Amino acid sequence: MEYKDYYEIMGVSKDATQDEIKRAYRKLARKYHPDVSKEADAEQRFKEVGEAYEVLKDPEKRAAYDQLGANWQAGQDFQAPPDWDSGFEFSGGGYTGASNEDFSDFFETLFGRAGYGGRSAHYSTGAGPRGEYSMRGQDSHAKIMIDLEDAYTGATRTLTLKHSELGEDGRPKIKERTLNVRIPKGIRQGQQIRLAGQGGAGVGKGEAGDLYLEVEFKPHPFYHVEGRDVYLDLPVAPWEAALGAKVKVPTPAGGIDLKIPSGSKNGRKLRLKGRGIPGKQPGDFYVVLTIALPPAGNDEEKAAYEAFQNAFPGFNPRASLGV
């Protein structure tokens, strides 16, 4: 995927004001509009200009895009930094160029589907003959990183969100606000938490938009998650796998005693029903056995391995390969 320099596409500097960006868009939109332009690549250029304007006209998207830094050049192979947009609010905005399907993979990677959208507007009749124009505020979208354990018990977390406002110089300035967010028990990765009225402010008597927080689990040193199921790679000694054993196992809900069946092989999966993420249909907790070999760092340990080798003279771990 190629990095897109939206400022270069629009032909403006990185410190351009919003008015300068708007004027540049109008000029380029007239120049490359497919219905009037005689340029060979007019349609493609029109789409690129529309996408660039969609980002640079919006203070939130522009501020987030600017956070990528100045180290990228147009056309370079691009991958977004991990969690670069976590905690950043993106508001929907009406698109004035091509359709949503014309947005590039680069745009989708940075802003996802939350980068699209618009506002709903209506006229409310008031005392005056002309009535009063009202517009509902834009919905905002952000990510929230939570611990896996929060999904087991529920929690309240303090979240600092970044948003932007236009300064006196016409450039977006990053601001922060703090919210207390209730994490419901049983929430899954990818689900959204809706905070009513915490989105963009309305116009006139229009109500404020909503804030949607997309849940993502923080990387965990022990577990990985698939839907509501939780997995743990559990190291076991060779004799524990061969002879069976009862071992202590950590889970997000607390430690348990687990029986390792005798004759277990590397990669065996033990299912603990209903011990995954809670819900009407709770997930399961899977323990995947990984056989850990002790070191042979001294003569005594080497002698133990030699005795083990002599006890199984006919064992060939590569027999299935025909060698």
Output 78 or 316, whichever has higher pLDDT: 316
Q: What is the DSSP letter of 81?
A: P
Q: Above 90 in pLDDT, residue 299?
A: yes
**142 vs 5, 163, 201, 287, CA distance in Å?**
23, 10, 16, 33
Average pLDDT, whole number, for the chain? 82
Q: Do domains 6-122+129-217 and 223-313 have the same CATH topology?
A: yes
**How many other C-beta atoms can be found within 10 angstroms of the C-beta atom of residue 55?**
26
Q: Name every residue whose Cβ is closer than 8 Å to that of residue 35 and which is 6 or more positions away in sequence.
A: none
Q: Is the pLDDT of residue 317 over 70?
A: yes
Q: How far is CA 317 from CA 279, 292, 323, in A?
A: 43, 16, 9
Residue 132 has pLDDT above 80, yes or no: no
User: What confidence category does residue 114 fall into, taking pLDDT thresholds of 50, 70 and 90?
Assistant: very low
**Closest Cα partner for 34 from 51, 49, 52, 55?**
49
Would you mind telling me the total number of residues written for the chain in this entry? Answer: 323
The two three-digit tokens of residue 23, written as one number: 């004027």
Q: Using CA atoms, how far apart are residues 107 and 56, in angstroms rounded to an integer?
A: 12
Domain residue limits, the chain: 6-122+129-217, 223-313
pLDDT exceeds cutoff 80 at 60: no
The CATH number of the structural domain formed by 223-313 is 2.60.260.20
Phi/psi for 236 (5° steps) reads: -135, 150
**Considering the entire predicted model, what is its pTM?**
0.61
The per-residue pLDDT for 66 is 80
User: CATH class for domain 6-122+129-217?
Assistant: mainly beta
pLDDT at residue 86 greater than cutoff 60 = no
H-helix segments, 33-157? 42-56, 59-66, 105-111, 148-153
Q: State the distance between the two ends of the chain, measured CA to CA, in whole angstroms.
A: 44
How confident is the model over 19-33, as pLDDT tens digits? 899 999 999 988 988
